Amino acid sequence: MTVVLTVAPTGPIATKRDNPNLPTQPHEIAEEVHAAYQVGAAVAHLHFRDAADAPTANLDIARRTVDLIAERCPILIQISTGVGLSVPFEQREALVELRPRMATLNPCSMSFGADEFRNPPTDVARLAARMHELGVKPELEIYDTGHLDACLRLRDKGLLDDEPMQFSIVLGVQGGMAANADNLLTMVRRLPEGAVWQVIAVGRANHELTGIAIALGGNVRAGLEDTLYLRKGELSKGNTPLVERAAQMAAAYNHPLASVAETEALLHLPSR
């Protein structure tokens, strides 16, 4: 049983004030992704920042970052269409025009900490259809049981590539499910037959839930998007210590990390 390890180096919320090792600029992100690839990550989940470090869907910045990564390693690129809470949906959805191998699809609006994450149903359906047209594999971000149901409705309307469906079970966002094993198990049990899934455990429970997900046969994500700390009170010195820790956990459970080629095959990624 292999584990697909995704690095999420940046995210939409944290700043260098929260952790000075957060990569925000294209060359910084590319260096961190390359280091993650070298310790076993097969997928890079990307958010972009402008010159002032604010979240952006700017296509030039996105293209530059993806190119810098491609110069360094063949890791699979997954662009976040979540982008940032203040970025309009029309800008977010344009990122899939770059035709990354994968992109996230957030099916529902929700509270997100003190803010709102707006994913109106008609916009989500349009983005799903466009990703389907472009051959961009969706990673479905589910923060609650109703989000899974929304994805199944999109599938039933023929708007999703369901061979196989790929889910991120997101735990620990204030506004979504709390980060505990009970919620993770509930979601895993509800997934459709044949689905591929990973856990995204935000905050303090990141380490424990990553371990539980590996034990259950799931995939995992590691990086500063999900936790800024290696352990309580100790900021992670970049993404590599978090990615290494997840890789070590997979090794301890005897679940080898999936290579890029194995991940492409597992997810039936359309070739480029």
Which residues contact Zn ion by CB under 5 A?
80
Name which of 134 and 251 has its Cβ closer to ligand KMH.
134
Q: DSSP string spanning 154-179?
A: HHHTT-S--TT-EEEEEE--BTB--S
Strand partners, 138: 103
> Considering only residues 66, 136, 152, 200, which one is a binding residue for ligand KMH as defined by CB under 6 A?
200
Name which of 25 and 78 has its Cβ closer to ligand KMH.
78
C-alpha 50/C-alpha 233 separation (Å) is 29
> Considering only residues 3, 5, 11, 96, which one is a binding residue for ligand KMH as defined by CB under 6 A?
11
Interface pattern 99-128 for ligand KMH (x via CB under 6 A): -----x-x----------------------
Work out whether 264 is an interface residue with ligand KMH (CB under 6 A).
no
- To Zn ion, the closest distance from the beta carbon of 156 in angstroms equals 26
- To Zn ion, the closest distance from the beta carbon of 82 in angstroms equals 5
Name which of 9 and 218 has its Cβ closer to Zn ion.
9
Tell me the two tokens of residue 193.
Answer: 């037959």
> How many residues of this chain interact with ligand KMH, rule: CB under 6 A?
12
Q: Is 172 left (phi over 0), alpha (psi -120 to 50) or beta?
A: left
C-alpha 94/C-alpha 79 separation (Å) is 11
The H or E element spanning position 222 is strand 219-222
The residue of the chain with the least Cβ separation from ligand KMH equals: 82
Name which of 173 and 269 has its Cβ closer to ligand KMH.
173
C-alpha 77/C-alpha 67 separation (Å) is 10
Number of separate helices (H) and strands (E) present in the chain: 9, 14
Window 151-180: residues binding ligand KMH (CB under 6 A)? 170, 173
C-alpha 214/C-alpha 2 separation (Å) is 9
What is each CA distance from 233 to 204, 225, 228, 230, in whole angstroms? 11, 17, 10, 8
Window 211-240: residues binding ligand KMH (CB under 6 A)? 225
> Considering only residues 82, 100, 107, 138, which one is a binding residue for ligand KMH as defined by CB under 6 A?
82
SS3 108: coil
- To ligand KMH, the closest distance from the beta carbon of 252 in angstroms equals 26
Binding residues (CB under 6 A) for ligand KMH: these are 11, 80-82, 104, 106, 141, 170, 173, 200, 202, 225
